[in-house]
Amino acid sequence: MDPKMTPEELEQFIHRELRALPTRKAPAGFEARLQAAVGARTVRAGGSPGQLEQVIHRELRGLPPRRAPRTLEARVLAEIERRAAIAWYHKSWSYWPAPVRVAFAAGSTGLIAAVVFALTLLGRAPQADALAQQVGDRVHSASALLTFGTWAVNFAGHLLGDLPHLWLYSGLAVVAALYATFFGLGAFAYRTLYRTS
């Protein structure tokens, strides 16, 4: 058994395998025996719910034990071996060896500290003004692009403002109807081509 596998993971795997088994059928005559035992208990006036529960429990305990399929043990052991073969660096953080986790945390913290320190040095350096000028030039070109976008929106607003409202709403209705038709045809094609039977 893999010492890195948690009991919860193993339990979940075994639970999935057991749920995949075919349903269990009661032996012949079990239902009639149970009905007779329940009927005998309910006929008696002095019977309590606890006694009825005991009768049902005794009848259910009398059922033969359910056998697992022959392949279940092999599948569980194969899954345990598969998980044991996975390298630690392909697993989650909690499975990493403790020294590696400590080294990773220390390295990450050191990297963050170095970036923060470099940014503070960069802000105080004499070249900071030249860098700010270069960033300003880039922002100026973005500002020109923003100005063009504002002009395009205003131009479209003037064009649409001159259209009659009836044309505008009719155009929107036609676009909505075309979209709904396209969506309906797509759903129909999907159901027709990929229907699973």
> Which single residue is written with the structure tokens 């339990």?
11
Distance CA 95, CA 88 (A): 6
pLDDT given at position 6: 73
pLDDT given at position 11: 74
- Is 0.85 topped by the overall pTM? no
H/E run at residue 51: helix 49-61
Rounded average pLDDT over 164-189? 90
pLDDT interval class at 71 (50, 70, 90) = confident
Q: Locate 185 and state its tokens.
A: 């045809």
Mean pLDDT of the chain: 79
> Which single residue is written with the structure tokens 């349903």?
23
Q: pLDDT at residue 197 above 50?
A: no
pLDDT given at position 47: 60
Q: Which comes out higher in pLDDT, residue 90 or 20?
A: 90
Q: Which comes out higher in pLDDT, residue 167 or 121?
A: 167
pLDDT given at position 100: 92
Identify the burial level of 41 via C-beta atoms within 10 angstroms of its C-beta, where 0-12 means exposed, 13-18 middle and 19 or more buried: middle
pLDDT given at position 40: 65
Distance CA 140, CA 29 (A): 89
Identify the burial level of 76 via C-beta atoms within 10 angstroms of its C-beta, where 0-12 means exposed, 13-18 middle and 19 or more buried: middle
pLDDT given at position 174: 95
